[in-house]
Structure 1
Amino acid sequence: MHAQSTSRISLPSHSVQPSLPTAFDPTPLQPVSFFPSGSEIYAQGEKAGAFYQVEFGAVRIYRLLADGRRQISAFHLAGETFGFEADTTHHFFAEAINATGVRVFRFATGADISGQLLPLALKGLTRAQEHLLVLGRQNAIERVAAFLVDMAERQGGLRQVEL
């Protein structure tokens, strides 16, 4: 486990704007929580009940295996959401890869958000299906190439990707 250290900062007006539905309680808009490189955002087994949006930086989602290895499930970049769970607990760890700002969106009391959650769930399902195809049908070099192409596309078609 990592010691968690967070602080709140205000971002300039040109930062990534939240794009989550209004059923999440953004008013007043929550400040961005800052997570230094390697710090834990949430742990497997902790209570869930919010979505997280990366404002800047990057987040890795992973699980610790019984033999001590870490299995990475996903990477999330600026503008992307994570923390979507099917029940009330987190099934993975979330950790800042580098200096990262995250905005938390909590569910508004009594709100029916099922319609707003469907697009997020389907996007996550599509990404997981594509990931399984890469893992199941490509050799190691092809998987690395697919990862780099995906990262470049998710960062606006960059010609260079910061790893």
Structure 2
Amino acid sequence: MQTISAPHVIQFPAWMARGATRQSDTRPASTPNEARRSFAKEAGIFAQGDQAQSYYRVMAGTVRTYRVLSDGRRQIDAFHVPGDIFGIETGGVRSMSADAVEPVTLLQYRNQQLAELATDDPEFVQQVMGAMLQSLERAQAHIMLLGRKSAVEKLATFLLGISDRLSGLGCVDLPMSRIDIADHLGLTIETVSRSLTQLERARYIELPAHRRSIILKNISALRRLDS
């Protein structure tokens, strides 16, 4: 039986909320208080239980954040793509782990620097808030997906979402494996494979041979499944 964890609700510190409004461009501007970090494929960025001293912005590549459940299963919370911010915690301890799905380049910001920037660079903090609000909206939608949708509907929602975030052109180069997708959608890898085949037979998608790309051939039909 599938276990669904309670959503991780983000409660922003009061100093972040002062004068903060949602921005149309939620990608933070560059600041002098950042460090560029690179990680190889499958390298760990931080681990569940670590001290939470930094947060990150993805510049290139894809990052997965996940929890390990008490029975040893992995639940992938999200995939973070260029422009996304991840790693902000309300407490002092990491609630999730983060790994590089593929080679990644990140900008690292120290938590105390964000507190200083609340006064020195409020526009940057507003942009961080906007990015975190988008992440929260995606997390809430993911909880609904886990609890209410069939396997095929979950996969349609995932493909549309990742296409919109990565390209929006109807052809998605998936950096993550089918095991990753299964752990994100609360499915088995066999169910993911069967669902992809079902969508391909219905001519909703095309699966090119020997590639991780997926062509979304009938986006309107996929959106009907998504809704």
Other-structure match for 1:119 = 130
> Which one has more relative contact order, counting CA pairs under 8 Å at least 6 apart?
1
Other-structure match for 2:82 = 78
Q: Provide the aligned C-alpha RMSD in A.
A: 2.3
How many angstroms apart in 2 are the aligned matches of 1:119 and 1:38? 28
2:63 pairs, out of 59, 74, 85, with: 59
Give aligned pairs, total: 142
Alignment of structure 1 residues 26-41 onto 2, 5 Å: 26-27=31-32, 29-30=34-35, 32-41=36-45
Other-structure match for 1:148 = 159
Gaps of 5+ in 1: 1-17
Change (3 A) 1:54 1:138: same
TM-score by length of 2: 0.56
Which structure dedicates a bigger proportion of its chain to helix? 2
Other-structure match for 1:108 = 113
Change (3 A) 1:46 1:152: same
TM-score by length of 1: 0.77
How many angstroms apart in 2 are the aligned matches of 1:109 and 1:125? 19
How many angstroms apart in 2 are the aligned matches of 1:110 and 1:54? 20
Deviations for 1:74-126, whole angstroms, at most 9, x for unmatched residues?
A: 10001111001111111000000011111101232862639635434422221
- The DSSP-based 3-state class of the residue aligned with 1:108 is helix
Which structure dedicates a bigger proportion of its chain to strand? 1
Q: CA deviation at 1:140?
A: 0.4
How many angstroms apart in 2 are the aligned matches of 1:35 and 1:104? 12
